[in-house]
Structure 1
Amino acid sequence: MFGHDKPAGLPCHNLEGFSCAIHARLSEAGYLGCVAFECLGAGQKVTSLFPQTWRDQPRLARPMIEAFRQMRDVQELRQMLKAAAALPLPEAVEAERQAWDTELMVTTQALAPLAVFDPAPLRAWLKGLAAHVSR
C-alpha cells in the first residue's frame, strides 16, 4: 500500500524537512498506506524535540525514527486514557487514570523520559478497566 519499498528504519524519500512533499496527492501516487496511517500527533511531537532535521544531520535519522515509534505508542495510550475518561470509573480508578495521563504528558516533553517509558504496565492497567466498569 506504499508507492515504493524501503527498509524499515529509513526515512521516506518524499520527506522534505518535516513535511511530506506529496501529501496532497498521496492516493494518486499510490501511497494508500500513508493515507490510512494516523500518527496521532507523534510526528509533530518528535520533530519538536529535535533541533535539526535528519536531512541536515543524517545521524539523527535513526534516533528520530526510534523516538517516533515510541511516541506513537505513547500517543495511542493517551487516546485510550482520554476515552476511558468517559467511563463511569470508581473514584480511585479515575485517580489512577489521571496519574497515568500525567505520566504520559511528561513522557512526551523530552527524549529521556520517552526513551525509558515502558508501556506494558499501562496496557495491562487499561485491559483491567472492563472489570471496574462492569461492577
Structure 2
Amino acid sequence: MRDHTTDLAGLRGDCEQCFGLCCVALPFAASADFAIDKKAGKPCPNLRGDHRCGIHAKLREKGFNGCTVYDCFGAGQKVSQITFGGRDWRTSPPEQARHMAEVFPVVRQLHELLWYLNEALTLPAARPVHDGLRRALDETERLTHKTPEELGALDVAAHRQEVNVLLLKTSELARAGIRGKKKNRRGADLMGARLKGADLRGANLRGAYLIAADLTGADLRGADLIGADLRDADLTDADLTGAFFLTQPQLNAARGGAGTRLPESVTRPAHWTARL
C-alpha cells in the first residue's frame, strides 16, 4: 500500500508552469549529447520567448540528445511558481534572474530525493525504517519551500548524505528477501560490459557505470539502480520489474524496446518505440 505524503504529480516536470529554467540554468558542452557549448545561466539559443524549445520535435535530429533524457523532477515549476512567485526571469532584474538560475539546481536535487523517499515508502520490506523515511520526506519537502536566499545557502550535500543512510537501509531490507547470492557492483566500472542475459536479481548497482553495457535479456528484478549511469545501455528484453530507485531520466538515456519489462514508477520512453 502506498504511503505518500508528497504529491507525485509535483515531482514530474510541467513545462507549462516553468520559465524554461533547465534551458537557462544548466551548462552543457559540445559532445554526443549536445551540439554546442552553453554556460550556466545563459539561455539556450533554441529557447523561444514563450519559454518553449524551438526545436523540441527535432532535438535528437539536431544533436541535442541530452535534452531528451533530462527531467527536473518538478523543480522547474516549483522554482518558477512558488519560490519566485511566478516572476519571469526575462522581466526580472539581472540579479534575481541569476539567483533563480542558482536556486533551480538546488531544488532539483531536493525533488530527486523526494522521489526516492516516496518510492522507499512503497516498499513493504522497508517498513522498519518507514518512520525515519517519513521524517526525512517531511524535512526535505520543508526545505524546498525555503526562501531563495535560504536555498542558495543550503548544504544540499549534507542533507543528501543524511537521507542516503535511510535509502541504503531501505535497499538492504528490500533486497534481503530475494533468494540467491546477490551481486554487489556498487560504483563498478561496467562501461560496455557484456551482460547479456545476466542474473542481476537483487544486485546492488548503486552508482555503477553501465554506459553502453549490453544488458539485453538481463534479469534486474529487485536491483537497486540509484545513481546508475545507463546512458546508451541496451535494455532490450531485460526484466526490471521490481527494480527500485530507477528514475525516468536514467531510463530515457538507455535503449530498449517493447519487450523491456519496467517498474510501474516509470514509463516506456517514446524514442524506444520509434526504434521499432
Contact 2:107 2:144 survives alignment (8 Å)? yes
Question: In the alignment, is residue 86 of structure 1 matched against residue 138 of structure 2?
Answer: no
Q: Which amino acid aligns with 2:45?
A: H
- Post-superposition CA distance 1:56-78 (Å, at most 9, x none): 12322321122111111111111
2:143 pairs with one of 104, 107, 110:
107
SS at match of 1:98: helix
Q: Which of 25-34 and 35-44 deviates more?
A: 25-34
Choose between structure 1 and 2 for higher RCO, CA contacts under 8 A separated by at least 6 residues. 1
CA RMSD between the two structures: 2.4
Q: Displaced runs of 4+ in structure 1, greater than 4 A? A: none
Structure 2 distance, partners of 1:24, 1:9, is: 24
1:67 maps to: 103
In the superposition, the TM-score normalised over structure 2's length comes to 0.43
Judge conservation of contact 1:78–1:101 (CA < 8 Å) in 2.
yes
**1:10-31 deviation line (CA, Å, top 9, x unaligned):** 3323333543333333223321
**Deviation of residue 33 (structure 1)?**
0.4
Aligned length: 134
Shift of 1:121: 1.3
Q: Which residue of 83, 105, 129 maps to 2:170?
A: 129
* TM-score, length basis structure 1: 0.80
Aligned AA for 2:74?
G
CA gap 1:36/1:131 in 2 versus in 1, 3 angstroms: closer
Equivalent residue number for residue 6 of structure 1: 38
Instruction: State the partner residue of 1:53.
Output: 88
Q: How many percent identity over aligned positions?
A: 34
Q: Distance in 1 between matches of 2:122 and 2:35?
A: 39
Which of 57, 61, 64 does residue 28 from structure 1 map onto?
61
Query: What are structure 2's unaligned runs of at least 5 residues?
Result: 1-32, 178-276
1:110–1:9: structure 2 CA closer, same or farther, 3 Å change rule? same
Q: Distance in 1 between matches of 2:138 and 2:52?
A: 29
- Matched residue of 1:90: which SS? helix
1: CA distance, partners of 2:142 / 2:52: 26
